[in-house]
Structure 1
Amino acid sequence: MRVLLIEDDKLIGDGLKAGLTKLGFSIDWFSDGKTGLQAIDAAPYDAVILDLSLPGIDGMDILYQWRNSGHDEPVLILTARDALSQKVAGLQNGADDYLCKPFALAEVAARLQALIRRRHGQLTPTLSYNHVVFDPASMKVTSHGEPVILTPKELAILELFMHNAGRVLPRPLIEEKLYNWDEEVSSNAVEVHVHHLRRKLGNDFIRTVHGVGYTLGEAK
């Protein structure tokens, strides 16, 4: 899942980007408020981590402008502002969650996963489709009850497909969800990942829609 991170503290930003990337998220990190405000239009983000005390423009003003312009991406405010009145204001202005610094990486990841689940209308913490079960929190996959080892990118593309069961995903959209702006993408990267997933999960698990993209196979 692709996440927009707006945080001006280099130590915190570095830690979040490195830690969340290891957990399977694709992170675009901006440290300036004005740049971060505009960045949300540049990619199909699944969630946002937003600091409030930012150079250029305050995070609360960013959130206000996003919501007024129709952006509905889930926003997790991550800030040192820990007064109850500030938490209430953040949630009333459109934030979906509010977490104060200092924080634990595991909690940030869990809150992001919960926000993304809610956005897709998913009630349970695990994703399942036919014989495949995926737990995003533990990054474990089983097929017919047996564990399957997937690479981080394979896990990311599997989660994307399982969140969008019944929908055909064009290759450019898959690339945008899988890769941040710092990563180079080879012309056949998606095809390679799909090939590996089919080899590990079954040839009929992902279906090619020629000229359009890919979708999960028929539900059984």
Structure 2
Amino acid sequence: MHLLLIEDDLELGRALHAALKVEHFTTEWVRLAKDAPHTIDGARVDAVLLDLTLPDGSGMDLLRRWRRAGVKVPIIVITARSALDDRLAGLDNGADDFVIKPFETAELVSRIRAVVRRSARQASARWTVGALEIEPGRREAWLDGQALSLSPREFQLVMELAREPGSVVAKDVLSMRLEPLGEPVDFAAIEVHVSNLRKKIGAQRVRTVRGIGYLLEP
């Protein structure tokens, strides 16, 4: 999963970036409100971690702007402001969750997975797409109840396709998301991973949409 982290604290930002990488998240990190994107492409970003107090502006203003623009990407507020009014304002303005600093990384990771799961319309920690089951937290998958032996890249590939089963995921999006450091993987490598995945889950389950990308059949 790819996250947008907006956090001005240098020490916390570095710690989160490192901890999330261990959990197989890629992270784009900015420290100022002015460096935050005007809008967010849900095809590229799975969730946003948003600090409310930034040196050059308010995270709450960013939250309002994105929701008014129709951004549907899950947004988790991370802040030291623990007053009830602040929590209510964050949720009322469109935050999907509200995490008070200091927090445990394990809890934050669990909350990220929960909001992404809800956005993917999955009811439990084990995602279901037809006969295919995926458990992101354990990085395990099953087909017709039988465990699959997937490489890290194959698992990440099926996860990205499963976020929107029946919808095309562009090659350039997969290119970015398949590399833990956020550096693009070339299209030829993607084709190899897709070919290997098809051998394990069935060629009919991953459809090529010529000139665009791939689709996981629900």
TM range (shorter): 0.7 to 0.9
Q: 1:209 matched to which residue of 2? A: 209
Q: 2:126 matched to which residue of 1? A: 126
Q: Size of the alignment, in residue pairs?
A: 218
Unaligned runs of 5+ in 1: none
What is the CA–CA distance in structure 2 between the aligned matches of 1:124 and 1:73, rounded to whole Å? Answer: 19
Q: 2:75 matched to which residue of 1? A: 75
Task: Answer with 41-50 or 21-30: which moved more.
Answer: 41-50
Q: 1:161 matched to which residue of 2? A: 161
Unaligned runs of 5+ in 2: none
Alpha-carbon distance change, 122 to 145 in structure 1, aligned in 2, over 3 angstroms: closer
- Alpha-carbon deviation of 1:126? 1.1
Answer whether contact 2:51 2:59 (CA < 8 A) is retained. Answer: yes
Quick check: 1:21 aligned with 2:21?
A: yes
Q: How does 1:181-220 map to 2 (within 5 A)?
A: 182-217=182-217
Residue type of the alignment partner of 1:75? I
Aligned-residue identity in percent: 38
What is the CA–CA distance in structure 1 between the aligned matches of 2:198 and 2:166, rounded to whole Å? Answer: 17
What is the CA–CA distance in structure 1 between the aligned matches of 2:115 and 2:11, rounded to whole Å? Answer: 25
Q: What is the Cα-based RMSD across aligned positions, in Å? A: 2.5
TM-score, normalised to structure 1, is 0.86
Structure 1, residues 141-162: CA drift from partner, whole Å, max 9, x if none? 2234343343443222211212
- Alpha-carbon deviation of 1:130? 4.2
Answer whether contact 1:26 1:178 (CA < 8 A) is retained. Answer: no
TM-score, normalised to structure 2, is 0.87
Answer whether contact 1:50 1:76 (CA < 8 A) is retained. Answer: yes
Task: Answer with 27-36 or 8-17: which moved more.
Answer: 8-17
Structure 1, residues 173-216: CA drift from partner, whole Å, max 9, x if none? 33344458851432323212212212333333322233342222
Q: How does 1:109-148 map to 2 (within 5 A)?
A: 109-148=109-148
Q: 2:65 matched to which residue of 1? A: 65
What is the CA–CA distance in structure 2 between the aligned matches of 1:212 and 1:64, rounded to whole Å? Answer: 32
What is the CA–CA distance in structure 1 between the aligned matches of 2:46 and 2:65, rounded to whole Å? Answer: 18
Residue type of the alignment partner of 2:33? G
